[in-house]
Structure 1
Amino acid sequence: MKFQRCMTLFVAVIMALALGCASTSNSEGTGEYLDDTAITAKVQTAILQEASLTSAEINVETFKGVVQLSGFVGSRAEINTAVQVARKVEGVKSVRNDMHVKGQQ
């Protein structure tokens, strides 16, 4: 009887831990968070290495493989280039563009 209660408790704890690490539509699981962190770093690096992008005011955020670019750049061409660079990074599912040209709004 005691063994059965311990086993039931053990199974319940394991299930709670597994469900606690699962993702929902509004949150990420641990693995997804680590993947998104890596994607963000790769996109930031690719943008900094792109010679035609002179602005350091591009912010990168990633949620479930969807990259959001925000901030300010010097021209519409730089926006297009940043989006194209981000799309080429492995793991990126799509790119949201929230960048603006400096001086225009």
Structure 2
Amino acid sequence: MAGMTAFFIASASYRAFRATNTDSTLLLVSAALVMLGRVPIGEFVSTRLPDVAQWIMDIPSMAGQRVFLVCAGIGYISLCLRTMVGINKTHLSGNE
């Protein structure tokens, strides 16, 4: 099972990191900078590389995480409202 999971991860990363357009090229460059900045050899390549990798992890990545949290919160609130109003019937309601 772990081998199949590793194959799917490798396949997805290959498809995501092909530099076919501007977005995928930007993703490829930022991933390479973060990977090089997180390992000790990154300091030998450039002294600013760990700082750039940390900036990528702090600013753009945090913005994406906040978007997901806000969307999850909005979805949770809408589901609660639908359940309270009675639009969304749960399996425990007993009404057929």
More helix by share: 2
Say whether the fold is shared (TM-score over 0.5): no
TM-score (norm 2): 0.30
* Greater strand proportion: 1
TM-score after normalising by structure 1: 0.28
